[in-house]
Amino acid sequence: MSPVDPVGRSAGTLTDQARGLLRDERVATRSGWLQAVHPIVKLLGIVALIAVTVPFDTPGPPAAMLGLTIGLAVLSRVPLATHALRTGVPMAVSLVIVAPQAVLLPGAPLLGPVTVPGISYAATFTLRVGASVSLLGLLLSTTRFASLLGALRTLRVPQTAVALLAITYRHLLVVFEELSRLVLARRSRRVRSATLRESWLEAGSLLGTFLLGALDRGERVGRAARSRGGTAGRGYPRQRAVGLRDAAFAFVVFATVAAGVLWP
């Protein structure tokens, strides 16, 4: 791979995404607390927790929420290093984005040009994003996508939307593999470094080939689905009844939301 040819880097990106997809599916099948919670209870609970986290304008409550998510991750046997990376990167990016506010916001000085309201805002914002990302990460790590789709269907999300998401998800690995193969083939055919112009023109034809291949595949899948009776109207199996672990999670959510609403 030449320095002016980051197209080759794309193969690595695709492989990383595919690995992430498979890793999350494996974690979602482990026996842990959140894995055992009913997907609908979990989805609604996580949405409620994120919604109650976002409006806070002091760093304490989002920090407490972040602590709660770490506890939930431990109880659900989610790999902490992966979860920390998933949460830490958006937090770091958010901190960089709002860091100038530590100087720009007027108020009592803390250290040099840094003001107390400024540092408080930057900390609150970063912790708020961290807690929200951590909550979403917990949902994704502990729920199989098929279960999530089943929950959406039960919540009366239209069948068309659910079928579209299901088909897209099912074909992700296939198309990652196909694009990765095209990129690798392109690299293996290259005997010298590509110029910027060559790289762009080749990438255009590579992208066109790939998208046309995907369209053909889509038509084939459509014909196959029709031969089996079509995809429309095909539902997901009903989830099991709500149990003790669901009630425990619902209680945690209710207590947290109530504490958040009653926070002065």
Name which of 209 and 239 has its Cβ closer to another protein.
Answer: 209
Nearest-5° Cα angle at 23, 144 to 130: 80
Q: Which is nearer to another protein, 97 or 243 (CB)?
A: 97
Which of 2, 25, 21 is CA-nearest to residue 13?
21
CB of 46 to another protein, least distance (A): 7
- What does the CA dihedral 107, 112, 118, 124 come to, rounded to 10 degrees? -140
For the bound state, the minimum distance from the C-beta of residue 31 to another protein, rounded and expressed in Å, comes to 22
Collect contacts of 64-68 with beta carbons under 8 A, ≥24 apart.
65/131, 65/135, 65/256, 66/127, 66/130, 66/131, 66/134, 68/252, 68/256
**CB of 138: closest distance to another protein in angstroms?**
10
Q: How many CA atoms lie within 13 A of 50 on its CB side?
A: 16
Cβ at position 244, least distance to another protein in Å: 26
Report the residue number, 174 or 255, with the smaller CB distance to another protein: 174
Query: How far lies 109's CA from each of 98, 103, 106, 126, 222, in Å?
Result: 18, 9, 8, 21, 64
Residue number with CB closer to another protein (71 or 113): 113
Task: Output 226 or 251, the one with its CB closest to another protein.
Answer: 226
Q: Which is nearer to another protein, 76 or 199 (CB)?
A: 199
Helix (H, G, I), strand (E, B) or coil at 114: strand
**Measured between alpha carbons, how far is 198 from 125 in angstroms, rounded to an integer?**
44
Q: How far, in Å, CA of 211 to CA of 199, rounded?
A: 18
Kindly state the smallest distance separating residue 116's Cβ from another protein, in Å: 15
The least CB distance from residue 32 to another protein, in Å, is 18
- Supply the minimum distance, in Å, between the C-beta of residue 94 and another protein: 7
113/243 with CB nearer another protein = 113
The residue type at 69: T
